[in-house]
Amino acid sequence: MSQHHAPDRFGVYIHIPFCHHRCDYCSFATWTDRHHVIDQYMNALVTDIRRNVAVGMSSVDTVFIGGGTPTLVPPEALMACLSELPLVPGAEVTVECNPDDVTDAMMATYFEGGVNRISMGVQSMTTHVLASLGRTHNPANVQRAVESVRGSGIPALNLDLIYGAVGETLDDWRYTVQQAVELSPTHVSAYGLTVEPGTPLALEPHRHPDDDDQADKYIIVDDILRSAGLANYEISNWAIPGFECRHNLLYWRQGDYTGFGCAAHSHADGRRWWNVRTPERYIEAVDTNSPTEASGETLDAVTRKREALELSLRTSDGVPVGALDPKTLEGLVEVVGERIVLTQRGRLLGNEVSLRLLP
Ligand SMILES: C[S@@+](CC[C@H](N)C(=O)[O-])C[C@H]1O[C@@H](n2cnc3c(N)ncnc32)[C@H](O)[C@@H]1O
Ligand code: SF4
């Protein structure tokens, strides 16, 4: 996985906390009723980034502009943030896009501004599953949005998919994955629908996903994507070799990153911190030149090492032979050369494997 590329050292995450509509399964820090603060928020991001650069920000290997819905704000305002960052040549720059918003002009502006990767929130390619998830787009919009990305020259494209919505059959899911493959993405992320506490979905048990159904769907997506040349490199992520998401790899390898914007998380050398949660509080903190940090923690060496093992085991890097006893994870791991890696069944039960690793 990415062997040709030295591990990235420093990443930047920029959070855009605005959405047109709230999906009822989503617990991310995002708002649908605060569009009136978008200009102030985007200005605050530029100011905050400039201040960090002025005190000596490291060169940036990867940028991820996520949300919320980055495509809801003017593309020029996103590019203004990007142009402040000291990017290394060849930095990976991703923007998360909602298909409904994508236009040729928007993608052209992104491309000019240095964006080289789009992550598209597709979720499903069947109309009734999109409706069940409460999404506003339709499969035809996805097709059109992908054409805009291609036409712009942006080379790397991830499609985000979700499986396990109520009413989604195995055939629906197979169709979604096949349609995704038809769009020739360089990367696919497929997540089982998660019931997040505090969301409207959490209050409706009849819509909660079934474990056996989720497992069947994991095998379907893994098999179809592998046959299409996308290799699994983390439990929920597949890529054409060389197109792995370097920003996510940096997270999984415990690299350092700074998050800008409300609710954004940062990490530097074992210390993690997170920003104030609302856009208004973030704007106020930047405007008064006060810390944007809400709180933080420093990990002790043992916790850090255990997290490193768990994260690495979730990726196709696996862990070194000797880091754990494969006999305690019979059928879930296999030894490949000098490394222990998860089997398909191990990936399917990935979270359980992590729990069993705990001392
Ligand atoms: C927070 S969204 C931001 C991007 C964009 N607004 C969108 O919805 O596509 C990023 C991704 O998180 C995933 N996601 C969000 N909530 C989820 C949940 N409860 N279960 C599984 N995946 C979820 C979706 O696949 C989504 O594409
Ligand atoms: S899933 Fe995406 S579009 Fe839906 S509310 Fe969350 S961030 Fe917004």
1 in any annotated domain: no
CB distance 195 to ligand 1 below 6 Å: no
| Digit-coded pLDDT (tens) for 13-41 | 999 999 999 999 999 999 999 999 999 99
Quote the ligand 2 centre to 138 CA distance (angstroms).
Answer: 15
Give yes or no for a contact between 15 and 292, defined as CB atoms under 8 angstroms apart: no
Among residues 251, 266, 296, the one where a domain terminates is 251
Q: Convert 312-349 to b/e letters by CB count within 10 Å (16 or more is b).
A: bbbbbbbbeeeebeeeebeebbeeeeebbbbeeebbbb
Tell which of 208, 227, 251 closes a domain: 251
- Claim to verify: residue 141 and residue 243 sit in the same structural domain: yes
Q: Of the bound ligands, which one is closest to the alpha carbon of residue 121?
A: 1
33 and 138 housed in the same domain: yes
Q: Quick check: is 140 in a domain?
A: yes
Q: Is residue 291 part of a domain?
A: no
Find the ligand nearest to 196 CA: 1
CA of 28 to the centre of ligand 1 (A): 8
192 and 315 both lie in a single domain: no
Same domain? For 63 and 168 the reply is yes
Last residue of a domain, one of 218, 235, 251: 251
In a domain, 300, yes or no: no
Give the residue whose CA is nearest to atom 4 of ligand 2: 23
- The CATH code of the domain that includes 17 is 3.20.20.70
Ligand 2 mutation pick, 33, 65, 69, 193, max ligand atoms within 8 A of CB: 69
Q: Which segments of the chain have a pLDDT < 50?
A: 2-3, 359
Q: Is the CB of 102 under 6 A from ligand 1?
A: no
Look up residue 79 and give its two tokens.
């590019």
Closest ligand to Cα 124: 1
Ligand 1 atom at shortest distance from the alpha carbon of 192: 21
Q: Do residues 138 and 206 share a domain?
A: yes
Q: How far is CA 188 from CA 11, 150, 268, 273, 356, in A?
A: 21, 16, 28, 29, 28
User: Ligand 2 center to residue 98 CA distance, Å?
Assistant: 9
- Domain extent, residue 321, equals 305-357
Do 315 and 244 have their domain in common? Answer: no
Is the Cβ atom of 193 under 6 angstroms away from ligand 1?
yes
Give the model's pLDDT for residue 326.
Answer: 80
Residue 259 within any structural domain of the chain: no
Q: Are residues 96 and 220 in the same domain?
A: yes
Q: How far is the CA of 358 from the centre of ligand 2 (A)?
A: 33
Residue 359 pLDDT: 47
The answer to whether position 299 is within a domain reads: no
- Using alpha carbons, select from 141, 57, 55, 128 the residue that is nearest to residue 98: 141
Kindly give the number of the ligand 1 atom that is closest to the alpha carbon of 162: 25
From residue 182, give the alpha-carbon distance in Å to each of 94, 103, 125, 128, 146. Answer: 22, 20, 11, 20, 11
The answer to whether 83 touches 113, Cβ cutoff 8 Å, is yes
Cα of 70 to ligand 2 centre, how many Å?
A: 10
Find where tokens 């490394």 sit. 339
Q: Is the residue at 247 inside a domain? A: yes
| Closest ligand 1 atom to Cα of 120 | 9
Q: Is 202 in the pocket of ligand 1 (CB under 6 A)?
A: no
Find the 37 Cα to ligand 2 centroid distance in Å.
18
Q: How far is the CA of 322 from the centre of ligand 1 (A)?
A: 36
Supply the pLDDT for residue 1.
58
The count of domains in the chain is 2
Q: Is 160 in the pocket of ligand 1 (CB under 6 A)?
A: yes
163 located within any domain = yes
For ligand 2, atom 7, the nearest C-alpha belongs to: 68
Beta strands in 167-242 (DSSP E): 187-192, 231-234, 237-239
Ligand 2 neighbours, Cβ below 6 Å, are 19, 22-23, 26, 28, 30, 67-69, 98, 121
